A and B are shown apart, each in its own frame.
Chain A
């Protein structure tokens, strides 16, 4: 019997483990638990750790996940707004089991599947109530002050929270709108309107393009005319200057105006009769007077072309 102490220790340990398994249970940090004594809920445990209980037939333990559950409505139903328009709204919520006692009384098996239909009913009724208090423009509006999205969400949350807590022991942590829609028949009208709007936009763009192009072109033409007018003015000024300068050179003609006039006439005559001219002359035109008789007194008669 020399190994008896070790044997005893091991035996004791086995018994201890057995007893512990029978008389204790664990609650995770993410769980809450309900202990029933002969099927009568007697204890609610919300903090985690190792807990005592009587063995199985006397006390039973039911554990629920107390983390935030995500739930969203299955149906996408029409809701009437304040101004009697139909809107489809689908919301999602995050909920937790905050009062295990009430929760356990409502849903004996404590499953999420059991709680969700009840939750859905609650959410739907509060959703309908809240949407019914708001006009359509609170959901859809170009005016930022009209949009009441966040307000609507928090109103729904406030409407659903007290009932969920008192009736099911469920605390709704948050609520949001997940999807928004219009009845199917309305979408077609929206498409027609969108089409018309786009067409207007097309017309507007066309008109705008034409106007812009015309503005640019006329501005260019105006600029061109301005530039050319300036150039003409400059050229005229240059010519005037030239005339003035030329006048200085004419001063020398004053020495003998008769000769000057005679010379100018001669050069004019020569210039005019340069090409394709026909001259009709009589005998009085010198030097053709020589063809008749040597008389000195004659008049020229000429035609051009």
Chain B
């Protein structure tokens, strides 16, 4: 292109040169402008045409040059690329990673590589948390149905083609679903060793779930969900290390439920367990109540004893005092004292007594017969006396 460009640039000048020299001698000494002018006119026309052509070529070539320049800039500039903050990049130069070890990894920011056939940029998402879910142990349902809260009606048995489940060590069936969140910790391994590393993580998770189930009884898996989850995660980590997947497990979540076909039976067990606890709690409450009341009763028994003691002692002391007081009077005149005391007492007794019946002795000195009819109801203390014949 540049060769061609040179020619039109150069050619007009030699053409111009001879044309001028031919005219100058002719016009001077010969003095015949007529013949000289006639050949000069077509030459000038031709000259103007080629000049215009040259002009056009020159300007179009300038445009081509600019386009070329832009193309070169674009070509070089196409090597510039940015790495987003959540990613890292590797440059493959003729298929080989550039750099050694961790230098291969380009962090976020602006970078430059050779343009396309030479270098190839491979991006690896590193900061993002990736999620895989294992549903090999979950019953057949769709995410839409689950979001709507409705689930397909369980059949009498489980069709292995559509329904997933796992088997526990004691030969029971239960459903388990695991979700694993992980981060890519060694991007080179993750990207360069595996076609689809996340599928691999998924398989490892399935396998771990299966093994954890095989090592748990159904009670362990369903009641000790945290323990089961730990079992699964331990196995996943083992597998990940073993396979060299280059990920670090951030978090895992495992959910286990009994098969829907026997859900009721499992609920019954839970209810029975609650009832058992309630029975024990009730008994405990009874025990506490009995203990505290028996303490109260015990106190009152002891107190009654104390009271009886006090009363007895008081009474005895009072009697003794009374005796001691009366003794001198008695000694002074025993007969009179006794009679007085007896009479006083009788007086009080007879005053308090409700019914008093006096029976004079028979004049013939024979004993009188007296019959008493005692009623069962002790309202009437005594029947009227029947006079003896």
Contact = CB atoms under 8 A, between A and B. Distances in A.
Interface of A: 1, 3-4, 6-7, 21, 26-31, 48-50, 65, 67-70, 72, 76, 88, 92, 94, 139-142, 144, 147, 149-150, 173-174, 176-185, 187-188, 190-191, 193-195, 197-199, 201-202, 205-206, 208-210, 212-217, 219-221, 223-224, 227-228, 230-232, 234-239, 241-243, 245-246, 249-250, 252-253, 255-256, 259-260, 262-263, 266-267, 269-270, 273-284, 286-288, 291-292, 303, 305
B297 A228 contact: yes
B281 to A, nearest CB: 9
Size category of the B interface is 35 or more
Contacts of B167: 139-140, 180-182
Contacts of B117: 21, 26
Contacts of B120: 28
Interface stretch (B22-30, B49-57, B226-234, B301-309): B301-309
Given A3-B2, A194-B172, A216-B280, A202 B95 contact: no
Contact of A279 (B299, B356, B360): B356
Interface string B268-286: 1101110111111011101
Given A48-B96, A259-B330, A253 B302 contact: no
A94 B276 contact: no
A224 B294 contact: yes
A249 B309 CA distance: 14
Contacts of B259: 191, 194
Given A194-B172, A228-B297, A250-B320, A180 B210 contact: yes
B203 interface: yes
Contacts of A21: 117
A276 B381 CA distance: 7
A249 B354 contact: no
B388 interface: no
A70 B282 contact: no
B323 interface: yes
A91 to B, nearest CB: 9
6 shortest interchain CB distances as A-B pairs: A235-B305, A209-B276, A231-B298, A242-B309, A220-B287, A198-B265
A239 B358 CA distance: 44
B165 A181 contact: yes
B327 interface: yes
Contacts of A232: 301
Contacts of A28: 92, 95, 120
Contacts of A30: 192
B294 A49 contact: no
Contacts of B89: none
A282 B358 contact: yes
Given A180-B210, A194-B258, A216-B286, 18 more contacts: A29-B92, A30-B192, A76-B160, A139-B167, A184-B159, A188-B156, A191-B173, A191-B261, A198-B269, A206-B275, A209-B280, A213-B282, A236-B305, A246-B312, A249-B313, A259-B323, A277-B354, A286-B346
Given A149-B214, A249-B316, A282-B359, A194 B374 contact: no
A235 B338 contact: no
B173 A190 contact: yes
B283 A231 contact: no
B381 A305 contact: yes
Secondary structure dominating the interface of A: helix
A29 B195 CA distance: 13
Contact of B194 (A68, A259, A287): A68
A235 B283 CA distance: 30
Given A67-B193, A224-B290, A209 B352 contact: no
B44 interface: no
Contacts of A231: 297-299, 301-302
B345 A266 contact: yes
A216 B283 contact: yes
B317 interface: yes
B289 to A, nearest CB: 8
A88 B212 CA distance: 18
B316 A227 contact: no
Contact of B313 (A202, A205, A242): A242
B286 A220 contact: yes
B343 interface: yes
B302 to A, nearest CB: 5
Contacts of A92: 203, 206-207
A215 B305 CA distance: 33
Nearest to B331: A256
Contacts of A139: 167, 214
B370 interface: yes
A278 B355 contact: yes
B14 interface: no
A29 B207 contact: no
B194 A149 contact: no
Given A206-B275, A234-B302, A283 B283 contact: no
A267 B283 CA distance: 54
B291 A256 contact: no
Nearest to A273: B349
Contacts of A260: 323
B166 interface: yes
15 contacts: A21-B117, A88-B160, A147-B169, A179-B210, A195-B265, A209-B279, A231-B297, A237-B305, A238-B302, A253-B320, A255-B327, A259-B330, A263-B319, A269-B345, A281-B358
A277 B279 CA distance: 58
